[in-house]
Structure 1
Amino acid sequence: MYLGLDLGTSGLKALLIDDTQAVVAEATAALSVSRPHSGWSEQLPCDWLKATEEAMAALAAQTDLSAVKAIGLSGQMHGATLLDAAHEVLRPCILWNDTRAAAEAAAMDADPAFRNLTGNIVFPGFTAPKLAWVKAHEPEVFAKTALVLLPKDYLRLWLTGQAVAEMSDAAGTSWLDSGARDWSDSLLAATDLSRDHMPRLVEGSQVSGTLRDSLAEAWGLPKGIPVAGGGGDNAASGIGMGVVQAGDGFVSLGTSGVLFAACDAYAPDPATAVHTFCHALPETWHQMGVILSATDSLNWFAQACGTDAATLTSGLGPVQAPGRTVFLPYLGGERTPHNDAAIRGAFARIDHSADRDAMTRAVLEGVAFAVRDCFDALTATGTKLERLTAVGGGARSEYWVQTIATLLGLPIDLPVAGDFGGAFGAARLGMMAETGQGASLATRPPIARSIDPLPDLADAFDEAHGTYRATYTALKGLDT
């Protein structure tokens, strides 16, 4: 059996698969986010460890873990976890959706070396500008910083005692030479850091260390089992979904939203605000359009209405032409294609007919329009998507998936019941590390059904997307 641990923003998931890759058991433990100021987003790393303990205890209660052969890791990207020389945490981790470092990111992005070497814009949510912010605003913390880890790699340090990162997650720091798949000494120096502050690098399907004996004993696992490099959450989901060949892609409707395309070569185009990162397998890359608030927008609106997301969407019926009301899902800024940390969300064009259902549809449509923006940016780079698979909690809404399919003009496959996301991909990477096999293990999940576009509504959605873009332009003028 193989264990995947996925450290998400809202929870940690532990998932166990057998030698045929069938899911044996799974467990989750919730996490919360602290937002002490507007645009800030933080978590305590000790909470990640508590969540892992909780999830592992729940997993052990379901099944005997003594046959586990390897562990793989997946996790939220870009977080800045700062440790001193004794590996003690210096401050709460600054998360991927934190935009406080917008000024520092802009200053770095003005240096052409960052785009040339990383293949990406320096976004405020990336790790490097966060360190620049800490240096400027918390100099005593920066002075004590001896090691910078991404969230899942802090979990790895606890699991194995090894400070290791892998390529797909490291590519989102603004310190990795993504073509060479190595830390860039010059980019590190630009933030007054060096390789001494960085973890060792491995590929996602390689062994990064072995599980500590004390944890193996506590959880009933064999001693000395390998822990794979793993992957950033989206790359690991790509492994879980079998998205490893050019033309393959998926749309993820999680806390954030992602349109993910596997690539057979490194071909960045930073000006589009498309992310070009290393994939979790050697000598492979991927591209992503990323929006910061997908199900986060729906959950926010549900909370504001005093209900839950499932209740909000349960009575919507079949997809219909977009209504007058427009929702911009920029609750904490936006990445693709705007690279705008200051922009905030809005409802617009509300009239007396805008009841709760109409506003719920507007939220779903607004996120779908943002996914369309990502699609347009990806295709502008020359990337071609032939078919998509939907993943994430939002994919349970057929209304949402069909809206996106109609906007993109592509069928979207829904896998059979089960989780084929980050935790499953992490377990597969554990299997690859233990067996020495690679991409052949990353097959597509069985498909339950496909959601086709609605051609009769295509023109209406195209027109509504134009209104959405015009509303963004007007809102940007107000925000600036």
Structure 2
Amino acid sequence: MFIGLDLGTSGLKALVMDDDQKILGEATAEMTVSRPKDGWSEQDPAQWIAACEAVFEALKGKVDLSGVKGIGLSGQMHGATLIDAADQVLRPCILWNDTRSHEEAAALDSEPLFRDLTGNIVFPGFTAPKLAWVRNNEPEIFAKVAKVLLPKDYLRLWLSGDYVAEMSDAAGTSWLDTGKRDWSDELLARTDLSRDHMPRLVEGSEVSATLRDELADKWGLPKGVVIAGGGGDNAASGVGVGVAKAGEAFVSLGTSGVLFAASDAYQPDAATAVHTFCHALPGTWHQMGVILAAADALNWYSKLAGEPAADLTGRLGTLQAPGRTLFLPYLGGERTPHNDARVRAQFLNLDHASDRDSLTRAVLEGVTFAIRDSFVALTATGTKMERLIAVGGGTRSDYWLKAIATALNMPVELPVSGDFGGAFGAARLALMAATGAGAEVASAPPIDRTVEPDSTLTDDFAEAHERYRAAYQAVKGL
């Protein structure tokens, strides 16, 4: 048996699968995010430990864990978890969707070395500018930093006692030489850090550490359970849905939105704001466009409307041509393709005819157009997307899926019921690490159905997307 842990922003998910990749049990534990100032997003790492304790206790009550061979980790990327020489957390973790360090990010990005070595723009959400912000604004904390860990790797430290990261997550720090798959001493020095502040690196399918004996005894696992390197949440999800080679892609409608395409080679194009990262599998990379608010935008609107998101979307019926009302989903800034930390969300062209359903459609269309922005950016780099699988909570809306298929003019495939996301991908990586199996175990799941684009509306969506892009240009300076 193998366990996958997916440390998200709003919760920790765990699952157990057997040697045939059949899921035997699942558990989740919720967490909260603190937003003490505009553009700030923080989380207390103590929540991660408490959540991990909770899910293991829950799994122990459902499944006999004495046959577990490996644990895999997936997690939210970019978070700056700062610990001192005694492994004590120095401050709340600054999360992936925190944009306070936009000035520091711009300063680092102005040095060509960062794009040359990482293959990416230095985004405010990445880890390096956050450390520059701490150095500039909290010098007494910066002086005590002994190690900088990404969220899932802090969880690994607690599980094993070892400081380890893996390539896919490390690629989102702005300190990794993404082509060489190693920390860059030159980039670390730009933020007054060194290799000593970093965990050692492994591949996602390699053994990174072993579970502490006291935790194995507590939860009923055998001693010597290996912990795989794992992956950043999107790379682990790629392993979960079998997106591992060129031509394969997935779109994720979670808190954020991701258009993820696997690549057999390192082919960055930083100027497009496309992310080029190492994959969680050796010798592979991936490219993705990232929007900061996908299902998060729908959930925000749901609270305003006072009605569950599922009810709002379930009333929409068949796909319609986009109306005049536009929604720009930039609740906390945007990454691909704008790299704009200051832009904020907007409803545009409201009139007397605007009602709850038309605004719901506008929100779904706004996120859809943001995904099309990423599609345009990825294809401009030469990235191939011959197959597109959809995952995430947003895929429960047939209307949204039809809009995405139509906007991209590409069929969207839905896996059979089941969880093929980060936790499942992490469990697959645990299987590889514990048994020596290769990428062949990361096959695509069976497809339940395919959502085809509506050819009668593709021109309407293309025209509305142009209006959407013009609207961003009009408001970006406000």
Shift of 1:324: 1.4
Counterpart residue type for residue 65 of structure 1: L
Match of 1:66 in 2: 66
In the alignment, the residues of structure 2 paired with residue 95 and residue 428 of structure 1 have an alpha-carbon distance, to the nearest angstrom, of 26
Shift of 1:264: 0.6
Shift of 1:387: 1.6
Shift of 1:375: 0.1
In the alignment, the residues of structure 1 paired with residue 325 and residue 371 of structure 2 have an alpha-carbon distance, to the nearest angstrom, of 18
Output one character per residue of 1:134-179: Cα deviation in whole Å (capped at 9) or x when no partner: 0000000000000000000000000000000000000000000000
Match of 2:275 in 1: 275
Residues 129-168 of structure 1: pairs in structure 2 closer than 5 A = 129-168=129-168
Match of 1:113 in 2: 113
In the alignment, the residues of structure 1 paired with residue 392 and residue 177 of structure 2 have an alpha-carbon distance, to the nearest angstrom, of 30
Shift of 1:206: 0.3
Match of 2:195 in 1: 195
Counterpart residue type for residue 450 of structure 2: S
Counterpart residue type for residue 280 of structure 2: A
Shift of 1:429: 0.1
Output one character per residue of 1:349-394: Cα deviation in whole Å (capped at 9) or x when no partner: 0111111111011000000000000000000101110120000110
In the alignment, the residues of structure 2 paired with residue 26 and residue 451 of structure 1 have an alpha-carbon distance, to the nearest angstrom, of 28
Root-mean-square deviation (Å): 0.6
Counterpart residue type for residue 432 of structure 2: M
In the alignment, the residues of structure 1 paired with residue 401 and residue 317 of structure 2 have an alpha-carbon distance, to the nearest angstrom, of 13
Residues 150-229 of structure 1: pairs in structure 2 closer than 5 A = 150-229=150-229
Which secondary structure state, in structure 2, belongs to the residue aligned with residue 106 of structure 1? Answer: helix
Output one character per residue of 1:185-230: Cα deviation in whole Å (capped at 9) or x when no partner: 0000000000000000000000000000111111111111000000
1:232 matched to 2:232? The reply is yes
Shift of 1:59: 1.3
Which secondary structure state, in structure 1, belongs to the residue aligned with residue 359 of structure 2? Answer: helix
Judge which range, 392-401 or 306-315, deviates more.
Answer: 306-315
Moved over 3 A (4+): none
In the alignment, the residues of structure 1 paired with residue 288 and residue 232 of structure 2 have an alpha-carbon distance, to the nearest angstrom, of 12
In the alignment, the residues of structure 1 paired with residue 320 and residue 419 of structure 2 have an alpha-carbon distance, to the nearest angstrom, of 29
Output one character per residue of 1:245-276: Cα deviation in whole Å (capped at 9) or x when no partner: 10000000000000000001000000000000
In the alignment, the residues of structure 2 paired with residue 421 and residue 298 of structure 1 have an alpha-carbon distance, to the nearest angstrom, of 20
Match of 2:338 in 1: 338
Which secondary structure state, in structure 2, belongs to the residue aligned with residue 386 of structure 1? Answer: strand
1:286 matched to 2:282? The reply is no
Shift of 1:304: 1.2
Which secondary structure state, in structure 2, belongs to the residue aligned with residue 358 of structure 1? Answer: helix
Counterpart residue type for residue 303 of structure 2: Q
Residues 347-426 of structure 1: pairs in structure 2 closer than 5 A = 347-426=347-426
Residues 450-461 of structure 1: pairs in structure 2 closer than 5 A = 450-461=450-461
Counterpart residue type for residue 182 of structure 2: D
Which secondary structure state, in structure 1, belongs to the residue aligned with residue 476 of structure 2? Answer: helix
In the alignment, the residues of structure 2 paired with residue 318 and residue 68 of structure 1 have an alpha-carbon distance, to the nearest angstrom, of 46
Shift of 1:446: 0.5
Output one character per residue of 1:434-460: Cα deviation in whole Å (capped at 9) or x when no partner: 111121110000000000000000000
In the alignment, the residues of structure 2 paired with residue 92 and residue 303 of structure 1 have an alpha-carbon distance, to the nearest angstrom, of 27
In the alignment, the residues of structure 2 paired with residue 438 and residue 105 of structure 1 have an alpha-carbon distance, to the nearest angstrom, of 37
Shift of 1:307: 2.1
Match of 1:464 in 2: 464
Match of 1:122 in 2: 122
- Runs of 5+ consecutive residues of structure 2 not aligned to the other structure: none
In the alignment, the residues of structure 2 paired with residue 419 and residue 353 of structure 1 have an alpha-carbon distance, to the nearest angstrom, of 40
Shift of 1:313: 1.0
Match of 1:87 in 2: 87
Shift of 1:395: 1.0
Residues 234-313 of structure 1: pairs in structure 2 closer than 5 A = 234-313=234-313
Judge which range, 166-175 or 24-33, deviates more.
Answer: 24-33
Shift of 1:323: 1.3
Match of 1:20 in 2: 20
Match of 1:101 in 2: 101
Output one character per residue of 1:268-288: Cα deviation in whole Å (capped at 9) or x when no partner: 000000000000011100000
1:329 matched to 2:329? The reply is yes
Which secondary structure state, in structure 1, belongs to the residue aligned with residue 66 of structure 2? Answer: coil
Counterpart residue type for residue 265 of structure 2: A
Match of 2:50 in 1: 50
Which secondary structure state, in structure 2, belongs to the residue aligned with residue 469 of structure 1? Answer: helix
In the alignment, the residues of structure 1 paired with residue 288 and residue 39 of structure 2 have an alpha-carbon distance, to the nearest angstrom, of 23
In the alignment, the residues of structure 1 paired with residue 34 and residue 245 of structure 2 have an alpha-carbon distance, to the nearest angstrom, of 38
Residues 3-42 of structure 1: pairs in structure 2 closer than 5 A = 3-42=3-42
Which secondary structure state, in structure 2, belongs to the residue aligned with residue 290 of structure 1? Answer: strand
Counterpart residue type for residue 345 of structure 1: A
Which secondary structure state, in structure 2, belongs to the residue aligned with residue 66 of structure 1? Answer: helix
Which secondary structure state, in structure 1, belongs to the residue aligned with residue 26 of structure 2? Answer: strand
- Runs of 5+ consecutive residues of structure 1 not aligned to the other structure: none
Counterpart residue type for residue 326 of structure 1: L
Counterpart residue type for residue 153 of structure 1: D
TM norm structure 2: 0.99
The number of equivalent residue pairs is 478
Which secondary structure state, in structure 2, belongs to the residue aligned with residue 204 of structure 1? Answer: coil
Counterpart residue type for residue 271 of structure 1: A
In the alignment, the residues of structure 1 paired with residue 133 and residue 167 of structure 2 have an alpha-carbon distance, to the nearest angstrom, of 24
Counterpart residue type for residue 100 of structure 1: R
In the alignment, the residues of structure 2 paired with residue 472 and residue 18 of structure 1 have an alpha-carbon distance, to the nearest angstrom, of 48
In the alignment, the residues of structure 1 paired with residue 319 and residue 213 of structure 2 have an alpha-carbon distance, to the nearest angstrom, of 54
In the alignment, the residues of structure 1 paired with residue 308 and residue 224 of structure 2 have an alpha-carbon distance, to the nearest angstrom, of 44
In the alignment, the residues of structure 2 paired with residue 41 and residue 459 of structure 1 have an alpha-carbon distance, to the nearest angstrom, of 38
Counterpart residue type for residue 35 of structure 2: R
In the alignment, the residues of structure 1 paired with residue 360 and residue 219 of structure 2 have an alpha-carbon distance, to the nearest angstrom, of 43
